[in-house]
Structure 1
Amino acid sequence: MSARDEILRQVRAGVAQGDAASRKAAVLAYLAARTAGPQPACGADLPRRFIDKAVSLASTVQQVSALADVPAAVAGYLRGLGLPCDAVMTADLAGLDWAAAGLTTAVRPAVDADRVGISGCFCAIAETGTLLLLSSPETPATVSLLPETHIAIVPVSRILDTMEAAFACVRAERVTLPRALNFISGPSRTGDIEQTIVLGAHGPCRVHLILVEQA
C-alpha cells in the first residue's frame, strides 16, 4: 500500500466513526474544554482601541449616531475624495435610503469595473483593528475584495476584544460555518518590490470604516 493510500484509508476510517452530529458534538466539547491562552488586555473602551488600531493600519474611520446617517456619511466621504457616487453593496444594507444621499447603488457581487464596494461586517476585533466578514449569497466576498475602495459599516455593539472572542461568536451565532471567513486589517498591501509598502496590490487601496453607535 502506498503512502497516499494509507493516508486516505485513515481519513475514511476517521470519517466513518459516528454520524456528523456526534462528530460535531465531539469537536465542540473539545473546544469548550480547552484552556484559553494568553490574550492582550484591550481595556474597557473597545471602540477607541479598535479605532486606534484600524488607523495604524491605514484605514480611515468615521463615526455616526445611527444607521440612517450612513448614506450621507458615505456620500460625503466619496465626494471628498473625488470618487464616483455609485457603488455595489451587500444585501444587508439595501434598506437604507441611498438615493436621498445622491448615491447610485446596486446589490450584487462586485466585478472588476466596480470602483466602490460597501459592506457590513459580522463583527470587528479591537485587538488588531480587524473586520470579520462572512461570505454568503447575500454578502458576497467580492464586494469587499475587488473594488479599489471598500467602505464597511461597523456597529459599535459588534466590536469584540480578541480574535478568540470573534471565533466564539461565530460558533455561537451560526449553525454552520460559511464558505469563507475574511479577516480584513486595513487596505491590501505588499512590500515585495524593494521592501517598499504599496497599498492596493491585491485588493482595495482604501478601507473606510463607518462606526454606528446605534445600529
Structure 2
Amino acid sequence: MTADASPDQRLPLKGAQTARTTGERMSCREVVQLVGLALLFCFLILLGGFLFAATLPTEPEYSVAITGAEGLDPARDLRSFDRRPTLSPVFNLTVHIELLDDSYYRACIGGHQAKLAVSYGGALLAEVEGPLLPELCVGPHEGRGANITARGVEVAVPRFERDRLAAELERGQAAFDVVVMAPRYDRQVLACKAMIGAGLRACDFQYYY
C-alpha cells in the first residue's frame, strides 16, 4: 500500500500561489498599458497630420470658360477641307482667379508677358498674348475674372482632326485645351480643359523652369 503523502505535499504552497497570481496581474497591467500607449500614439499621429494640413497654404483657384466660338461650324468650316484648307477660329474666353483665404497676400495671373493658347488634339487653334491678356490680381477672399478673345489666322489642322472636332461639336462633347503661361509670376502654367458654353472649368496649376 502506498503511503499517504506528507502534509507538506498535500497542501499547496501559499507563497508560490501568491507569486503566480501577482505575475498574472502584472501581465494584464502591462497589456493595458501597451494598448493605452498604442492608442495615444495613433492619436498623436492624427493630431499632427491635422495640424500640418491646417497650416498648409491654400493655392489660388484658377478657372477658364469658353463663352463662344466662331469659325468652327461643322459643315461650313470643318468639313469644307477642299474649299477651306485652313481655319481662322475666334474664341471668347473668361479667365477667373480666386483666393479663398489669407494664405497669400496677393495672387496674380496674366500681364504683358503672359500668353494664352487654345488647341484641340494637339493642333493650335488660337492664341493671345501681351497687352491683349490683362493682368488679374486678387487679395484674400477675393475673386476676379476677365473676358479675353483669342484668334487663329489661317491655321492648318489635319483633316482627321477637323472631322473628329466636327462630330464632337455636333454631339456637344468637344473639349479644348486652354493653356495660360505667365512667366512674370514665377513662371506659372495653367492647364485647363474647357467646352464651349459649359461654364468655368478648374485649371491645373504648376510651375515650369
Indicate the TM-score class for this superposition, using the shorter chain for normalisation. Answer: under 0.3
The TM-score normalised by the length of structure 1 is 0.20
Which is higher, the Rg of structure 1 or of structure 2?
2
When you count strand as a share of all residues, which structure comes out higher?
Answer: 2
